[in-house]
């Protein structure tokens, strides 16, 4: 994987800045650091300010496993072209009531299964659910139990996540499909996607994505590039701002206000 903040990585960013590029990001573990309680996740103030600048300069989107309403509350005053929830399944249209009922039934079944294990929490969302086990004293055992219970649900699509097992109805769009639809509607010639875990691999593998960046190196990932750790997200955002400003001829003094990521 190419370190996106290395000279080779910065060259890729500079190339995207010369195109009509859509920038898309995951939220938890990417724009916002991971926290023990998913309800407390938030961008740092400095990240928010930089991301707002990015969204002014590029068509920008966030695609998250969160409910879209939850996601939008964490992205106020950022001029996004799109915010997509439920791993790509929730783009603003009301979810199919049949899917909502199915997810609700699955959530009730899982809550019953883990009624005596408060360290395992079932989060019900509009078109998917997540079984969180980050607080479990033995995450390996908790993951095994959560996975087995989810796989026993009839017709469910089960996939991994960061300290969570995700469940969605079959056939709903994933992050890759959401990006492909978005790029087609916006008419972009280039798509960048930045994510951090297994739920983002559908986007990394998407033919619509021309530059894929994983937060944290992982040789098994389909991502072409990596950002070594989430704490460097601001350096990545600055690199995108600086590249677009430079391509637009805004002047070195203005560009220097963005800061310059140090090549690795």
> Which residues are identified as catalytic?
26
Task: Please give the Cα distance from 194 to 182 (Å, whole number).
Answer: 15
Crossing angle between the packed helical segments 233-247 and 7-17, to the nearest 10 degrees: 50
Q: Which of 161, 182, 186 is nearest to 173 (CA)?
A: 182
Type and span of the H or E element at 201: helix 201-204
Tokens read off for 147: 């996975």
| Category of 37 on φ-ψ map: left (φ > 0), alpha (ψ -120 to 50) or beta | beta
Report the C-alpha gap between 180 and 29 in whole angstroms: 23
**Cβ–Cβ < 8 Å for 160, 44:** no
Using DSSP bridges, classify how beta strands 211-215 and 164-168 pair: parallel, antiparallel or unpaired: unpaired
Pairs from 98-107 (Cβ < 8 Å, separation ≥ 24) = 99/127, 99/169, 99/172, 100/126, 100/127, 102/155, 102/169, 103/127, 103/128, 103/129, 103/167, 103/168, 103/169, 106/153, 106/156, 106/167
Quick check: helix, strand or coil at residue 159? Answer: strand
CA 257 to chain centre: 27
């Amino acid at each position: 994987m190419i370190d996106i903040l290395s000279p080779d990585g910065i060259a890729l960013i500079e190339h995207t800045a010369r195109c009509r590029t859509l920038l898309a990001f995951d939220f938890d573990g990417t724009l916002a650091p991971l926290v023990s309680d998913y309800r407390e996740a938030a961008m740092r103030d400095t990240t928010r300010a930089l991301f707002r600048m990015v969204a002014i300069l590029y068509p920008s989107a966030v695609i998250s496993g969160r409910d879209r309403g939850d996601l939008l509350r964490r992205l106020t005053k950022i001029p996004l072209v799109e915010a997509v929830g439920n791993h790509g399944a929730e783009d603003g249209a009301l979810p199919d009531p049949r899917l909502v009922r199915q997810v609700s039934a699955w959530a009730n079944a899982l809550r019953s299964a883990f009624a005596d294990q408060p360290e395992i929490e079932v989060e019900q969302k509009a078109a998917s659910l997540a079984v969180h086990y980050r607080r479990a004293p033995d995450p390996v055992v908790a993951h095994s139990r959560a996975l087995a219970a989810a796989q026993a649900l009839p017709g469910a699509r089960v996939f991994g996540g960061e300290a969570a097992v995700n469940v969605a109805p079959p056939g709903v769009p994933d992050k890759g499909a959401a990006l492909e639809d978005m790029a087609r509607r916006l008419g972009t010639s280039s798509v960048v996607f930045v994510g951090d875990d297994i739920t983002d691999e559908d986007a990394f593998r998407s033919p619509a994505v021309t530059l894929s960046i994983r937060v944290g190196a992982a040789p098994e990932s389909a991502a072409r590039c990596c950002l070594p750790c989430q704490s460097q997200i601001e350096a990545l955002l600055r690199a995108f701002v600086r590249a677009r400003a430079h391509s637009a001829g805004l002047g070195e003094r203005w560009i220097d206000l963005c800061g310059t990521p140090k090549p690795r």
